[in-house]
Amino acid sequence: MPVVKYPRLRDPLFYEWDRKAQKCGLRHTIYAVNGDQYTGEWLDNLRHGKGTQIWKSSGAIYSGDWKFGKRDGYGSYSVLDPATKEYKRVYTGWWQNDRRSGRGTFFYPNGELYEGEWSNGLRSGWGKMHYKDGSTYEGQWLMDQPNGQGLLQLPNGNRYNGGWKDGKKHGPGKYFYPDKGQLLEGIWVADIPKCAVLVEFGRENAPAPPELPLPEIKLQDPAGVLAEAQAMFDDNHN
């Protein structure tokens, strides 16, 4: 009986092409169809490890850590200035799942600067904001707004130290007026002092004190009034 030999089955050629195209380890620059380019490490055809990505549409560049195709770890993101053709830093710090997360510094186009903690791409945690007008806020943040305890310092030396909510003064706080030698202490609600006591401190050294001193407060226990207001505030916000 004759022996029939069948040719050995082979995988289609595109299987071999695909296997060779799989990127893993350190590679030279890889160009995407849309013109984006990446130079760095790969794992299972995904950007993974150290690498630099340049987006053709915006000219933006990210250099740092990657994890399974997303920015994750420490890295720096910059954009191209169309006028000077030079790169300007936007963010340097930690990333998670392609979003700012952890400690980092953000440089705003108008010259403002934030140094602190991030969560899911938003300022959250403890951080310090340097505003364009020269004022600064240092304290707690939540969902990109001052929230919790924080200190706001104005260019003229005035400062507020106390509670915040949704970016506004809210809760117990103290507002200092060093130029006048006065202190306003009380309870704030949505940036407005609802129950407060104005007292003098260091009037003799103040550069521009009021002509007349504050009249004496005819309260035997101003602190007790504030404590009562604090209790009412807590009851209304629990």
Q: Which helix (H) or strand (E) holds 94?
A: strand 87-96
* Residues near 130 by beta carbon (within 8 Å), at least 6 away in sequence: 112, 113, 114, 115, 136
This prediction's pTM: 0.78
Q: Cα(135)–Cα(154) distance, rounded to whole angstroms?
A: 4
Domains of the chain with CATH codes: 25-107 (2.20.110), 110-205 (2.20.110.10)
Q: Cα(171)–Cα(194) distance, rounded to whole angstroms?
A: 10
Nearest to 142 by CA among 112, 113, 176, 170: 170
Q: Cα(7)–Cα(231) distance, rounded to whole angstroms?
A: 89
Query: Which stretches within the chain are classed as H helix?
Result: 13-21, 222-236
Q: Cα(26)–Cα(40) distance, rounded to whole angstroms?
A: 6
Quote the radius of gyration of the chain (alpha carbons, Å): 30
Q: Cα(127)–Cα(113) distance, rounded to whole angstroms?
A: 11
At residue 15, the pLDDT reads: 44
At residue 22, the pLDDT reads: 59
The pairing of strands 122-130 and 37-43 is unpaired
- How far is the first Cα of the chain from the last one, in angstroms, to the nearest whole number? 94
Q: Cα(150)–Cα(127) distance, rounded to whole angstroms?
A: 9
Low-confidence ranges of the chain (pLDDT < 50): 13-15, 17-18, 219-220
Q: Cα(97)–Cα(103) distance, rounded to whole angstroms?
A: 15
The CA–CA distances, whole Å, from 220 to 35, 89, 162, 189, 225 equal: 75, 57, 25, 25, 10
